[in-house]
Amino acid sequence: PEPPEGGWGWVVMLAAMWCNGAVFGIQNSCGVLFVSMLQLFGSSEDKQMAFKTAWVSSLSMGMVFFCSPIVSIFTDLYGCRKVAVIGAAVGLVGLFSSSFVSSIEPLYFTYGILFACGCSFAYQPSLVILGHYFKKRLGLVNGVVTAGSSLFTVSLPFLLRVLIDSVNLYNTLRVLCVLMFVLFLAGFTYKPLVPNTKDKEGGKKGKFKLPPAKKICNFSVFKVLSYRIWAFGIPTALFGYFVPYVHLVS
């Protein structure tokens, strides 16, 4: 269907903006959390402990993007709303469970994998759904949505610093769960306008039938030279992009 260029789409835009802000606001503020984790679980003088602590945030950032191809497939199969809501719920569980750990190792799973995978599943649909509601204004809408990550990234470190000094790291993580809970509710605004692959393949009976492999993973786009340059150039450019986020505060 033709994108409505507004209407409910503005609500979707605000929800996607919150998604970008919540996910990358927390991820990009990891330097503050890194210092706090290092003080709580070890010592800044212990180089081995610093390495182990940095792995928590590094693993989390890596998993957000590492899961992207898988999330894209699930989004095509089940639609933006289901994937975003389930992803936010998983991220909420991961972040909340991170506030109860007593050592650094469990954080690799709760924060580095569970929370990050949930963020990834919530984040990708927020980009896809915009194309369902906007076409002519898609550039403007994308700009507003991505501005959400900058607003949260600029402001959240100050809030985290105050919270950590006031109520400690564990309670700070629980406060951040509020952002994820709102993200969970925001996912319900992704009202589908385009039928997902599962619905199209299942028909009226609703029986699940796995679509052909070409519909799940279509690699024909790699035949386009400009796309290959872009697809391999961006990861190369981002190779060291997140390193300062982790270590600059320290």
Residue 58 has pLDDT above 80, yes or no: yes
- Say how far apart CA 138 and CA 150 lie, in whole Å: 19
Residue 113 has pLDDT above 90, yes or no: yes
The backbone torsions φ and ψ at residue 190, rounded to the nearest 5 degrees and listed phi first, read -75, 70
Other Cβ atoms less than 10 A from the Cβ of 91: the count is 30
Q: Is the dihedral of CA 230, 232, 148, 195 positive or negative?
A: positive
Distances (CA, A) of 126 to 135, 194, 195, 203: 15, 15, 16, 26
Q: What percent of the chain has pLDDT over 90?
A: 47
pLDDT tens column, 134-185: 888 889 999 999 998 899 999 999 999 999 999 999 999 999 999 999 999 9
Which pLDDT does position 247 carry in this prediction?
A: 80
> How long is the chain?
250
Which pLDDT does position 40 carry in this prediction?
A: 86
Burial of 40-71, coded b for 16+ CB within 10 Å and e otherwise, reads: ebbeeeeeebbebbbbbbbbbbebbbebeeeb
Q: Classify residue 16 as exposed, middle or buried by CB count within 10 Å of its CB (0-12, 13-18, 19+).
A: buried
Residue of higher predicted confidence among 18 and 43: 18
Contact at 8 Å (CB) between 196 and 76? yes
Q: Is the dihedral of CA 121, 152, 148, 34 positive or negative?
A: negative
Please give, one letter per residue, the 3-state secondary structure of 28-76: HCHHHHHHHHHHHHCCCCCHHHHHHHHHHHHHHHHHHHHCHHHHHHHHH
Residue 206 has pLDDT above 60, yes or no: no
Contact at 8 Å (CB) between 189 and 11? yes
pTM metric for this prediction: 0.84
